[in-house]
Structure 1
Amino acid sequence: MSNVQNVVFDRAAGYYDQTRALPPHEASQLTDALWEALGAAPASHVLEIGVGTGRIAGPLAQRGLSMMGIDLSGSMLAVLHEKFPSLPVALADMTRLPFAAAAFDGVIAFHVFHLVSGWRDALAEAVRVLRPGGKFIYSIHGRDPNSVNSQLRTQWRRLLADQGIKAEPPGIRDDAQVDQVLRQLGCRDHQQREVIRSREPVTARFVLDAMEKRIWSDTWLVPDDVFAQTMGVLRAWASERFDLDQVDQDEYHVGFHVYTV
């Protein structure tokens, strides 16, 4: 059983953008949608918690929005500074934001609450620093559970469970629980928006190779010996069930929830 409190992305800083970035036209669609959802104007002041390398905040800042970012990873923030040197950032914990109450017109959180054990505190802090009428936006991500990618990762977790290990980050993935906490904090006017629904070609061999390189954060949570053993079993299992080089169209979707404070 993992006792990880938070997942920090220092080890991923060098390859994060290459493995997490959306295609340029989809990234532009997402920026457009966020701008619209924020009701953005250059005078608006928006914070991104878990800003990472700036793939969300950077394009918004380039549009003229006054952005601020915080993250626990100094290495990720260093990459952000190389890409967006004028975007102000702070090395800080989203569960204890170093800002006054009602300091921002918007707060954005993308693909981060599953990494934080104190996600309830993070939500409370996000609401605290928002001005009345401000927008809180957090992301939606999903993949086809029947894709080869999902099948391989599900089977790997079963192998780990057989050894009493749970390779799950310490935070929350349940949107209903997030919604409940936000409403208790006084948020209202919930809207949900899907921005992107697309497919990407992938093979079982590619997924296995990526897992063995420990690109994804859930693979960091497993002891090295157990990781090597379970990946060997998984590759043998996959070789019996899939043509490892057959191209599968992996469907994914990206969007976000919007709440008004």
Structure 2
Amino acid sequence: MDDDGQRRRLRTGFDETAEAYERSRPVCPPQLFDDLMDAGSLSPGDRVVEIGCGTGQASVPMAQRGLAVTAVELGADLAALARRRLAPFSSAAVVTSAFEDFEPAEAAPFAAVAAFNCLHWIDPHLRYAKPAALLPPGGLLAVGTCHWARPADADSFWFEVPDDYRAVGGEGGQMLTPEAIGPWHLPPEAEEHFYEVVAARYPFARTYRPEDYLANLASQSGIRSLGADRSAELLERVHHRLQARGGHPITATFVGQLTLGRRKADLRR
């Protein structure tokens, strides 16, 4: 299977674990969303289209800040959970669709297009061109990402668990320290459409119950790409490792990233 076929296959798999995805995916800290509003010059009532909202991990914080979010989600079960979470916000809506096929229901312009942990799943030919087409000149592209990290003083679990990945033929490289993960910048292919104005990083931590950490692993595309047998073996190995430490909660470290770009007035440049 070529890279494009693999991308299209894996991006649909999150819907198979929607409940696990909902309860175990990390949410970036409030400061990131505050900076999105302030540095992005967004105001309550501004219309935002969100690419690949999942179950609303970023949709809800944006709606809480008064943004009128149109969240686009490919997976029907993920979209249903997002609708439930966004129900208290009258200006928020969820559209079940691939972003590549999304067409706005009304002509009013969007102030921003936001993508959290999903831009890499979009067709490379439309990844930046379609957000640019939805925005007026000066409109905002907001890209959020979240990376696992491992502090030097992390629990020994984080130093040992890569052995379990290698045992099943997966990638078992050591995670970077938080300090080694810098801001993410718009790549060259975005420069036809956007110029970068902000790139920031936000270290944070989340404590998981063992069952929720395993649920997070089960929802990850890298785990699912191993195939049913090897992913099941990996999850069983990690389960035993968690049991060996007494079943106590485990604290994971992350680095969130926020990158903001403005749509160029002349897209030929």
How does the TM-score come out when normalised to structure 1? 0.73
Cα separation, partners in 2 of 1:31 and 1:130, compared to 1, 3 Å: same
Report the counterpart of residue 199 of structure 1 in structure 2. Answer: 205
Aligned-residue sequence identity (percent) comes to 19
Q: Is the 8 A contact 2:73 2:96 kept in 1?
A: yes
Report the counterpart of residue 158 of structure 1 in structure 2. Answer: 166
Report the counterpart of residue 104 of structure 1 in structure 2. Answer: 110
Report the counterpart of residue 29 of structure 1 in structure 2. Answer: 31
Q: Deviations over 1:152-172 (max 9, x none)?
A: 66445534547x9xxxxxxxx
Q: Distance in 1 between matches of 2:85 and 2:32?
A: 19
Work out which of the residue numbers 39, 42, 46 in structure 2 matches 1:40.
42
Report the counterpart of residue 187 of structure 2 in structure 1. Answer: 179
Report the counterpart of residue 135 of structure 1 in structure 2. Answer: 140
Q: Distance in 1 between matches of 2:218 and 2:196?
A: 40
Q: Distance in 1 between matches of 2:219 and 2:233?
A: 17
Cα separation, partners in 2 of 1:29 and 1:149, compared to 1, 3 Å: farther
Report the counterpart of residue 63 of structure 1 in structure 2. Answer: 65
Q: Is the 8 A contact 2:161 2:238 kept in 1?
A: no
Aligned residue runs from structure 1 range 210-229, under 5 A: 210=214, 214-229=218-233
- C-alpha displacement of 1:78: 0.8
Q: Deviations over 1:124-159 (max 9, x none)?
A: 211221111011011132232565566566445534
SS in 1 for 2:129: helix
Cα separation, partners in 2 of 1:15 and 1:136, compared to 1, 3 Å: same
Q: Give the CA RMSD over aligned residues.
A: 3.7
Q: Distance in 1 between matches of 2:94 and 2:40?
A: 20
Work out which of the residue numbers 12, 17, 22 in structure 2 matches 1:17.
22
- C-alpha displacement of 1:32: 1.6
- C-alpha displacement of 1:111: 0.7
Q: Is the 8 A contact 1:188 1:259 kept in 2?
A: yes
1:188 maps to 2:195: yes
After TM superposition, the runs of 4+ consecutive aligned structure 1 residues lying more than 6 A away are: 233-236
Cα separation, partners in 2 of 1:150 and 1:63, compared to 1, 3 Å: same
Aligned residues: 239
Q: Distance in 2 between matches of 1:149 and 1:192?
A: 31
Q: Is the 8 A contact 2:150 2:253 kept in 1?
A: no
Q: Distance in 2 between matches of 1:80 and 1:132?
A: 30
Aligned residue runs from structure 1 range 75-114, under 5 A: 75-85=77-87, 86=90, 87-99=92-104, 103-114=109-120
Which amino acid is 1:19 matched to?
S
Contiguous gaps of at least 5 residues in structure 1: 165-173
Q: Deviations over 1:4-33 (max 9, x none)?
A: 3241221222232320143xxx64333322
How does the TM-score come out when normalised to structure 2? 0.71
Q: Distance in 1 between matches of 2:20 and 2:234?
A: 24
- C-alpha displacement of 1:107: 0.6
Cα separation, partners in 2 of 1:61 and 1:247, compared to 1, 3 Å: closer
Q: Is the 8 A contact 2:51 2:119 kept in 1?
A: no
- C-alpha displacement of 1:257: 0.5
Which amino acid is 2:117 matched to?
H
